Structure 1
Amino acid sequence: MKNVLTFRNIIVAIPLLAIILVLDYALPQVDVVRAVGVEIKRMDTEDSKTGQQRTRDVYFLQTETQDGKPRVYRNEDNFLYLKFNSADLQAKVQSFATDKQLVAVRRYGWRIPAFSMFPNAVKVWAVEPGYSHIPVFNTIVIVGLLGLAAFVFLRVRRRLKAMAQKRQEKEEREAREAEEAADRARQEARHKDADIESFLNSDDRKTD
């Protein structure tokens, strides 16, 4: 357990968890539900620029799962998803709700009751019982992100390996230079000792 909860693992896990949460919120998902009705709520919001309260109408789509659990979606335009037909989608779902048509709802976002958050519906279309959606777009995005992450990881790993190799070569070079300097110092010391010995021997011969 101590090996898992290391500082390095925590530092890596935090951005990874953040990326997973962002993808889970932003990537479109498809729910198969029955259209029940539509609703328009007048909501008070605060203008981020002026700080004043303003009132606007918000569309909601009312559906239920195939086992009878209620599920509500917000129906608002979104530039990133190129959705500009909220009113048309509202009318379409109202038509489906007449016969409680089984529909597929492409949406993004989360349902958090404590914050009155609803997933936003992007597209709705009629489906047959047993319909199963294949998330092609999400698969492409996730595979692309994994490929990009692998590419970055390999580049960083190669760079770190090259830096480690350069550092090792520098240390080896410095070690060789230190050893050569030590050898030169030893040779000079031997030469000095030889000179001193030669000088002393020459003095002894003169004395004789």
Structure 2
Amino acid sequence: MKWGLRILAVLIVGLFLHYTLPQRDIVRVVDTGNRITQIGANWIFYSIEDTGTGAETSTTRDIRFIDAVFEDDSTVMVYRNEDTGWFWPPYFKWDSSTLQAEATNLRSTRDAPKWVAITHYGWRIPLLSAFPNAVKITPVEGPDVTLIPWVNILLLTFIAFLVVMARRMWLQFRERMVDPTLADVGETFDAVGDRAEAARKEARGFFGRIGAWMNTWRAKK
């Protein structure tokens, strides 16, 4: 049970980080535009209403999209382009209009490709109509360029440092406070048990003496 809970906690944290941390795809932009999108049970995969998205109703939004193709020309990806504002995740994105203009300017064809790195967060889940949210677009030299995720490396290193420090603090706290307290409680229970056993023995001895005395009276009768 303990290991099961630990694995579940690690899985939840891993999925949360994978969804939230920035990722970069090297793609070719083929189209951009706005589409009226129905927001329902999948609201968790979209920005909060009225965060620069031009929401029309509580369930319908006019959202910007960026259509892209990977190097193999068969794998495609659709990115939404929404502001995040001051809300989660903390990308503080307010320039979705500018990003849309940049993406439109970088559109290209198969014969004359322009390769770009699109920084995004989130997942593409067709069943839930979920799209990763693009936060930045940068021209690159080609589809085989190497991009080092420095932001993710620094953040994960910092998180690992916090986890290690929290564990060390907990171990020290348990060693100095919890373990001695548990030991005192155990000794207290042991002392109470010893006193209770002694009381039972004394009671048995007392009632035994009374029983012996009453037997002597019965013998006299």
Fold shared by both chains (TM-score > 0.5): yes
Per-residue deviation at 1:20?
Answer: 0.8
User: Identical aligned pairs, as a percentage?
Assistant: 30
Give 1:198's aligned residue.
none
- 1:109 paired with 2:122, answer yes
- 1:66 paired with 2:71, answer yes
CA contact (8 A) 1:34 1:63 kept: yes
Per-residue deviation at 1:164?
Answer: 1.9
Give 1:199's aligned residue.
none
**What is the CA–CA distance in structure 2 between the aligned matches of 1:131 and 1:121, rounded to whole Å?**
19
CA contact (8 A) 1:44 1:53 kept: no
Runs (5+) with no aligned partner, structure 1: 1-6, 183-208
Per-residue deviation at 1:172?
Answer: 6.5
Give 1:146's aligned residue.
160
Residues 139 and 25 (structure 1), Cα distance of their counterparts in 2 relative to 1, 3 Å cut: same
The structure showing larger relative contact order (alpha-carbon pairs under 8 Å, at least 6 residues apart) is 2
> If the length of structure 2 is used for normalisation, what is the TM-score?
0.68
Per-residue deviation at 1:168?
Answer: 3.7
- 3-state SS of the aligned residue for 2:11? helix
- Which stretch of structure 1 is more off in the superposition, 31-40 or 155-164? 155-164
- 1:14 paired with 2:19, answer no
**What is the CA–CA distance in structure 1 between the aligned matches of 2:189 and 2:129, rounded to whole Å?**
66
- 3-state SS of the aligned residue for 1:19? helix
Pairs within 5 Å for 1:120-131: 120-129=133-142, 130-131=144-145
**What is the CA–CA distance in structure 2 between the aligned matches of 1:29 and 1:83, rounded to whole Å?**
15
Give 2:148's aligned residue.
134
> If the length of structure 1 is used for normalisation, what is the TM-score?
0.72
1:120-172 alpha-carbon deviations (Å, 9 max, x no partner): 00000100123211111111111111111111111111222232245446757
Number of residue pairs matched?
A: 171
- 1:77 paired with 2:91, answer no
Pairs within 5 Å for 1:1-208: 7-45=1-39, 55-68=60-73, 69-79=75-85, 80-98=90-108, 99-129=112-142, 130-162=144-176, 163-168=178-183
Runs (5+) with no aligned partner, structure 2: 44-48, 50-56, 199-221
4+ residue stretches of structure 1 with deviation over 4 A?
169-176
**What is the CA–CA distance in structure 1 between the aligned matches of 2:189 and 2:37, rounded to whole Å?**
72
Per-residue deviation at 1:91?
Answer: 1.6
